[in-house]
Amino acid sequence: MGIAELPLADTLARPLRDLRISVTDRCQFRCTYCMPREVFGRDFAFLPREQLLTFEELTRLARIFAGLGVRKLRLTGGEPLLRRDLDKLVAMLARVGGIQDIALTTNGALLAGKAQALAAAGLRRVTVSLDSLDDAVFMALNDAGFPVARVLEAIAAAASAGLAPVKVNMVVRRGVNEQSILPMAAHFRGSGHVLRFIEYMDVGTTNGWRLDEVVPAAEIIALIGGQWPLEPAEPAYPGEVARRYRYRDGGGEIGVIASVSQPFCRGCTRARLSADGKLFTCLFAGTGHDLRGPLRAGSSDQTLHELISSIWTRRADRYSELRTRQTARAQPVRPKVEMSRIGG
Ligand code: SAM
């Protein structure tokens, strides 16, 4: 059987369709819920350059993943735009047969100057993270003194470069930025962009994640729907992470990513590649599978194909579902993931 014909499904019959590629573990922000300064401070040992997968290695792996069924790539980090010449990587990935969609998740800090080149290289979509429209709240969260206006400029620049509609990710943490939900909804209503609210997740680096800091998606929908009536919309594609809602008055749509209150492991078709070439089959997997070693040791495409295939077919992860059950029984388990290594 030829490489591209191999049907691939894990132990829960989930196909491999999406690959999130972390191109760097570095970020200029120190978002308190993601890369808090106490952990990612001056002394933190980020990966030396030679340990990062090169563009050629990433493209080769993307070709092998495409042969296993991957159709969508998402570039993430750390902050992916810190990786120099990212548009060159996009152009290389855009030429990989079978890849239908290349997206980027970014904090927006460097996007305004790069949006045009990225779009020209073949980037199809961009997601920009923004947790509040209030500078004091946003700066307290990003812990890097970065102002809201620059992120809004980045969103506008991405739209003018042809990357509209832009998705805007807002992580909601109770007592920190829940008061920003309605202003954010008001701002993006009617803009053509899609605001998505993400339940605050335990990513293992914030010592004090607590369930009571999670604002459940249902509460967010009720709050916004009380102001501007909403109706559920069909998923844009099977396995879509966000649940979509439409403003009844035609003001566009919003999404909620309810990974804590309504985990979606059953429909998860995503694998993640860390910046140093480890394959993770779940955001919360404690350990990854090294692909860089075999890649640099001269493995053939067929060997790498078989390696990835055997990792995916053994996959049984449903971490979020199990964690939600355990948390409900007041026995929280702690994941060992570092978001900065794998990307969101
Ligand atoms: N630096 C880029 C950015 O800011 O978008 C890409 C990497 S970031 C890890 C990807 C996404 O994960 C962002 O939208 C971020 O807000 C989200 N994220 C990070 N930590 C999170 C957490 N504890 N709970 C929920 N979402 C989180």
- Residue-by-residue DSSP string for 90-117: HHHHHTSTT--EEEEEE-STTTTTTHHH
pLDDT of residue 202: 85
Instruction: Choose which residue among 79, 339, 340 to substitute to test ligand 1 binding: the one with the highest number of ligand atoms within 8 A of its C-beta.
Output: 339
Instruction: Choose which residue among 106, 126, 171, 203 to substitute to test ligand 1 binding: the one with the highest number of ligand atoms within 8 A of its C-beta.
Output: 171
pLDDT at 42 over 70: yes
d(CA 182, ligand 1 centre) in Å: 20
pLDDT at 44 over 80: yes
What mean pLDDT comes out for the span 294-298?
98
pLDDT of residue 335: 53
Nearest CA to ligand 1 atom 22: 201
pLDDT in tens, 72-123: 999 999 999 999 999 999 999 999 999 999 999 999 999 999 999 999 999 9
d(CA 129, ligand 1 centre) in Å: 7
Which tokens go with 198?
């993400």
Asked if residues 249 and 229 have their Cβ atoms less than 8 Å apart, the reply is yes
- Please give the single-letter amino acid code of residue 260: V
Nearest CA to ligand 1 atom 18: 344
What mean pLDDT comes out for the span 26-37?
95
Tokens 């792996």 sit on residue: 61
Tokens 């090169």 sit on residue: 54
Phi, psi of 26 (to 5 degrees): -95, 155
What mean pLDDT comes out for the span 268-278?
97
Helix, strand, or coil (residue 58): helix
The lowest-confidence range among 88-92, 104-108, 260-264, 307-311 is: 260-264
Q: How far apart are CA 117 and CA 94, in angstroms?
A: 13
pLDDT of residue 317: 83
Instruction: Report the pocket of ligand 1 as residue ranges, CB < 6 Å.
Output: 27, 33-34, 76-77, 79, 105-107, 129, 169, 171, 198, 200-201, 203, 339, 343-344
pLDDT of residue 336: 54
35, 204, 209, 268, 332 from 214: Cα distances, Å? 18, 15, 9, 22, 14
Tokens 């090294």 sit on residue: 290
pLDDT of residue 319: 76
pLDDT of residue 328: 61
pLDDT at 229 over 80: yes
Q: How far apart are CA 71 and CA 68, in angstroms?
A: 9
Tell me the pLDDT band of 6, cut-offs 50, 70 and 90: low
Q: Which atom of ligand 1 is nearest to the CA of 199?
A: 25
Beta bridge partners of 72: 18, 101
Single out the residue of 111, 138, 107, 141 nearest to residue 123, CA to CA.
111
DSSP 173: B
Q: Which residues of 184-203 are buried (b: 16+ CB within 10 A; e: fewer)?
A: bbebbbebebbbbbbbbbbb
Tell me the pLDDT band of 327, cut-offs 50, 70 and 90: low
Is 100 buried (19+), middle (13-18) or exposed (0-12) by CB count in 10 A? exposed
pLDDT of residue 98: 97
Instruction: Choose which residue among 105, 197, 200 to substitute to test ligand 1 binding: the one with the highest number of ligand atoms within 8 A of its C-beta.
Output: 105
Nearest CA to ligand 1 atom 5: 106
CB < 8 Å & 24+ apart, contacts of 320-326: 320/259, 320/260, 320/263, 320/264, 320/265, 320/284, 321/263, 321/265, 321/266, 323/202, 323/263, 323/284, 324/260, 324/261, 324/263
d(CA 343, ligand 1 centre) in Å: 7
Q: Which atom of ligand 1 is nearest to the CA of 343?
A: 9
CB atoms within 10 A of CB 143: 15
d(CA 303, ligand 1 centre) in Å: 33
Query: What end-to-end distance do the CA atoms of the chain give, in Å?
Result: 35
pLDDT at 338 over 90: no
The lowest-confidence range among 22-26, 178-182, 221-225, 328-332 is: 328-332
Averaged confidence pLDDT in the chain: 92
Length of the chain: 344
pLDDT in tens, 140-174: 999 999 999 999 999 999 999 999 999 999 999 99
Q: How far is CA 327 from the centre of its chain?
A: 23
Single out the residue of 236, 302, 266, 197 nearest to residue 9, CA to CA.
266
Helix, strand, or coil (residue 188): helix
